[in-house]
Chains A and B, each alone.
Chain A
Amino acid sequence: MPSLETKNVVKKFGGLVATNDLSFSVDNGEILGIIGPNGAGKTTIINLIAGTLPVTSGKIIFSGEDVTNFAAHERNQKGISRTFQTVRPLDDLTAIENIMIGALFGQKMGLKDAREVAKEICKLIGFNNFDRSIDQLTVLELKKIELGRALASDPDLLFLDELMAGLNMEETYELIDVIRKLQKRDLAICVVEHIMKVVKELTSRVIVLDQGQIIAKGPYEEVSQQKNVIAAYLGEDE
């Protein structure tokens, strides 16, 4: 059974069709790449699966259960986590408290346990400045907080929305290593990326979105040679 399966998911914003008839699946232990030019609908499909936006039509099946009508927080509690394209830390909480949120509510833990979980996650992602306030953190650290909070819910399915954007090479590889470790824990992971090096490094399979539709799928090496994919990216810098 795949971890996630979407069936004919459509999302319309007024007249704009942001995702059109999207059907795909992800297995546990797999890293799926979701790529496509700006405005292709990548973030939208994450929002639909995580429940921050309602679908117009179609179904979302997670671990064999139809979660299409579940609220966002219920989906998180069931094991769907995501990071945001622009980091969204909670300003009035310290760094580690930001991570604790996931454990407190995604896993319904108490304060003590949540802090332990958060500390372990910090170890995993290489973050030490537990009690810093958010405005003192570097970009890399903010990204780590974003990832840490998503992980603290103990997800089975994880979406990373352009996690590497704005990082330098060294920092990017640091996070790639973290994601590899997560893969070994049998998580199903979807990475949305514009940085093709990251896609090449991490994913076994990609789907290419353009104007809300899947225009290609398969291993990155194959897909990147296809004419329609190149055409979709034309004028886009990678």
Chain B
Amino acid sequence: MNKKAILIILTALAVVLPFFTGAYVLSIFISIFVFLSLSLSWDMMLRTGQLSFGTAGFFGIGAYASALAVANLGLNPILSIILGGLFSAIIAFALGFVVLRLREIYFAITTLALTHVFSVIIRNLSDITGGASGTILPNAIFNGDPKLIYWAILLITFMVIGISEMFKRTKIRFAINSIRNDETTAKSSGIDVFKYLLLVFVITSAIQGVIGAFYAQQFAFVNPESTFSLNFLLLPIAMALVGGIYTTSGPIIGALILGLISEYLKLLIPYGHLVVYGVIIVLVVLFLPEGIFKSVKKLFASKDNVGSDINAQS
């Protein structure tokens, strides 16, 4: 069986899953797809060499834009998800002109600080946002029908995967890789570094905004504490690290592995099951910089090679 066939089968399985399982399993996969998409978006930014800690921030403002549009303006929830993405994209575009001058630790810290600033602003605009207690929507999207919610996030996830692959297969990949490897070489070869950074920053922020909006509509609820939770940053990072950074498959595999593990651990240790994510981040950074999955694959690949060598000799 070749790769393509496996992919088609997996895709088909993902699409028909709601026919075979109940609400509980679906809710697990909905959550996995949410984090998978965030993880991919974080990785896409990382491919330019920029470590963003702003994932939770753009997730949060997308969530708020969507929830408030539904609560205050009566916007259709599906449209509000698009609006959430647009809102995050616009904010990212405006901030990008300043923030994208920064590099390394300064970019990382500034994006993290921005996340806090967003949440403080939202908490204080209490007339519109409901302040610290947040805003509750009258209805979850699709009236809370788990099947429809599942298919909606699946569709979004497919689109995010598509964007990630587009980043891999087009000219954009050359620009992104060059910028990460050596900005001076990139500039001297005609690459408009800022333009590409801005493009990636806006697209990944839009994805985070869409996911945040979806999340808000799924739970019909936003609140500064939980909507801007750093879990929406840390978990995606851990997932990408586990599966392997700079790839599309890495965050997907990482999200599946960690999503399932943590679901299990949640039952075992209700408080503190996230410790696994911390341990994984630390272990991966220390021992498996290529990601668990890639390293294991390499291990098998090298075994295969040994095998084929022996075969060739006999």
Contacts and interface: CB of A to CB of B under 8 A. Distances in A.
A89 to B, nearest CB: 8
Contact of B178 (A76, A90, A111): A90
Nearest to B194: A71
Interface stretch (A24-32, A101-109, A135-143, A217-225): A101-109
Contacts of A111: 170-171
Interface in A139-158: 149-150, 152-153
A110 B170 CA distance: 9
Tell me what chain B mostly uses at the interface: helix, strand, loop, or mixed.
Answer: helix
Nearest to A159: B188
Contacts of A107: 190
A90 B182 contact: yes
B177 A106 contact: no
Contacts of A77: 190
A101 B189 contact: yes
Given A101-B178, A111-B171, A88 B187 contact: no
B189 A105 contact: yes
A89 B182 CA distance: 8
A73 B195 CA distance: 11
- Max count, chain A CB within 10 A of own CB: residue among B181, B182, B189: B189
Contacts of A84: 184-185, 188
- Max count, chain A CB within 10 A of own CB: residue among B177, B178, B188: B188
A105 B184 contact: no
A69 interface: no
Interface stretch (A57-65, A91-99, A119-127, A174-182): A91-99
Contacts of A100: 174
B263 interface: no
Given A88-B182, A110-B171, A111-B171, A72 B177 contact: no
Contacts of B180: 92
A105 B178 CA distance: 11
Contacts of A194: none
A52 interface: yes
Contact of B187 (A52, A102, A110, A150): A52
Contacts of B189: 73, 76, 101-102, 105-106, 149-150, 152-153
A205 interface: no
B7 to A, nearest CB: 23
Given A73-B190, A90-B185, A97 B171 contact: no
A106 B190 contact: yes
B199 interface: no
A73 B192 contact: yes
A192 interface: no
Interface in B163-200: 170-171, 174-175, 177-178, 180-182, 184-193
B179 to A, nearest CB: 9
Contact of A72 (B175, B178, B188, B246): B188
A90 to B, nearest CB: 4
A102 B186 CA distance: 9
B181 A91 contact: yes
Contacts of A76: 187-190
Contacts of A73: 186-193
A152 B191 CA distance: 13
B86 to A, nearest CB: 29
Nearest to A146: B185
A88 B179 CA distance: 12
A11 interface: no
Nearest to B187: A72
Given A104-B174, A110-B171, A92 B190 contact: no
9 contacts: A52-B184, A71-B187, A73-B186, A73-B188, A93-B174, A93-B177, A97-B174, A102-B189, A105-B190
Nearest 6 A-B pairs (CB), nearest first?
A106-B190, A105-B190, A72-B187, A76-B190, A90-B181, A88-B185
